[in-house]
Chains A and B, each alone.
Chain A
């Protein structure tokens, strides 16, 4: 998106004068010198794009620099603020991959398992609950709904200590169960809310027709709601993926044995064990850890943006 070539007056832009004959009086001498004004608007638009691009570049610079530095020897990381590596060196990646007790693939697999379980749990349990809130009538519905909404805002710290006690009595510490089972029980209420919103938008005539044809609620849920709710399910999946992949606090608490470490915990251990001495391989593994999120971002942007815009949580 280069603004350079032709920045024609944009439709709907209020800055460019002379569009339509709408502004009779009050508008300043726009009508007098339309040509000069249009030129100025164009210069303004180019300047704005230059500014926005420069700002975006500054915003992303740390990320780009981390990527570039992951290919540089350590000595250069401390000297080179530039982006172009003089010679590409993959040793940071091979060193970092094997720097900890287990190869990094081990932690990637662990993270993937937790993510997979969480995905399954959230998609299933939250859509079930959402169906009840969107389509069923039952006693105390409003109250339960309000409780569900409030649970979205509950800080995890208020429940973490008893949860830890509970899970350690079940001997679930150092398994993935404390991270996955709560998702199977619809504790990520944000997604219930998201799906309730979506279900409400599906015409009721569809389920009424299905009811006339003898469908019960389970079949309406399975054969009408779920197939029609792919965008909401996709949004849920992608947020669950990113949040679980990035999650640190609960994984730090429930996973203490190195063979159970997920990627964030492994990275943290890496920082502690090497200190400041090997930024190169630390960066390399950080990049590796960000790649799945980045891919999810690239392919799921539409759903991410829609998800945030309609329900407002990042």
Chain B
């Protein structure tokens, strides 16, 4: 069962054996409780408070109320980064999931070489978040990069993709699509869980393969599609390394790759505007949380739970 299913039906979980191992629980959970207090919950509260202050790390935080939040919407760079991030997320994630689903459907069970194909397609997902791959991307889509060398073979004169404001973000999206392997593996696992007998029954009834796909595969796969969608959206909103490395750390050219977290980093740790960065972080949490809630609400209309 996935995190998301667990969360959405948490109410039923947990056996009702009221014996009480309170002391043992305290012992086993001690590290986690300390971590929750000092590393997660405490800092969360602190950053909420800092988001209402002006704080540069050197002098004490100064209360400014909602100013950081109102400043955000007068800040053209912030609005740019918001736009860049939304474009990046809402274009690349659907493409990535479409690729993942398409390939998972092509690789049916029992097929020869399935494990090998799965490995080959999955490898980019493991490496995709690294600095090394971001460096590679910067070269590949550079003026004299691999892409243009290949284009030159067929007589097309390419340009510096990463240095052109219209295309730089596209190269980052391509990187995100390239890492479709992880959701593909999840789709494959989901496909394997559909009982073979459904298909057998359907072919006895004379259903065509297309009809079987539409009436069996797709509905039974919707929980997995939903799961992948929620997960990849959340993850894409937090993309950082690729934008940082490909743009040389500034989100250029002309802020075209200024992803949200990159701008947050530049504000907080570049110009030490920590109050503003905290406000941005909380606004990000609001976006991600809001989007996830909307996803859950909308899921009632299209996600089909078998049991």
Residues of A at the B interface (CB closer than 8 Å) are 1, 3, 7, 10-15, 22-23, 25-27, 48-49, 52, 55-56, 59-60, 62-63, 65-66, 77-81, 124-125, 128-129, 131-132, 136-139, 141-142, 144-166, 168, 181-182, 184-187, 190, 192-193, 197, 216-218, 221, 242, 245-246, 248-249, 252-253, 263-264, 267-268, 271-272, 276, 279, 282-283, 286-287, 289-290, 293-294, 297, 301, 304-305, 308-314
B167 at the interface (CB under 8 A from A): no
A14 to chain B, nearest CB (A): 6
Given the interface pairs A153-B234, A155-B284, the reply to whether A264 lies near B50 with Cβ below 8 Å is no
Residue in contact with A125 in the complex, picked from B14, B35, B182, CB distance below 8 Å: B35
Number of interface residues of B (CB under 8 A): 122
B52 at the interface (CB under 8 A from A): no
A123 to chain B, nearest CB (A): 12
Complex Cα spacing A170 to B53, Å: 23
In chain B between 179 and 199, which residues have their CB closer than 8 angstroms to a CB of chain A? 179, 181-183, 185-186, 188-189, 196, 199
Q: Which residues of B contact A263 (CB under 8 A)?
A: 131
B238 x A155 contact (CB < 8 A): yes
B297 at the interface (CB under 8 A from A): no
Q: Which residues of A contact B176 (CB under 8 A)?
A: none
Complex Cα spacing A216 to B50, Å: 45
New contact pairs (11) apart from A142-B14, A305-B122, CB-CB < 8 Å:
A52-B107, A81-B146, A136-B25, A138-B25, A142-B13, A145-B13, A160-B43, A271-B135, A290-B130, A290-B133, A308-B182
Q: Which residues of B contact A253 (CB under 8 A)?
A: 265, 269
Residue in contact with A311 in the complex, picked from B3, B15, B109, CB distance below 8 Å: B3
A267 x B126 contact (CB < 8 A): no
> Could you give 20 example pairs across A and B, Cβ below 8 Å?
A7-B112, A23-B203, A55-B103, A56-B120, A63-B123, A129-B31, A136-B25, A149-B7, A155-B237, A156-B238, A163-B39, A166-B38, A184-B31, A246-B129, A252-B244, A268-B245, A304-B126, A314-B126, A314-B179, A314-B181
Q: Which residues of B contact A158 (CB under 8 A)?
A: 43-44, 47, 281-282, 284-285
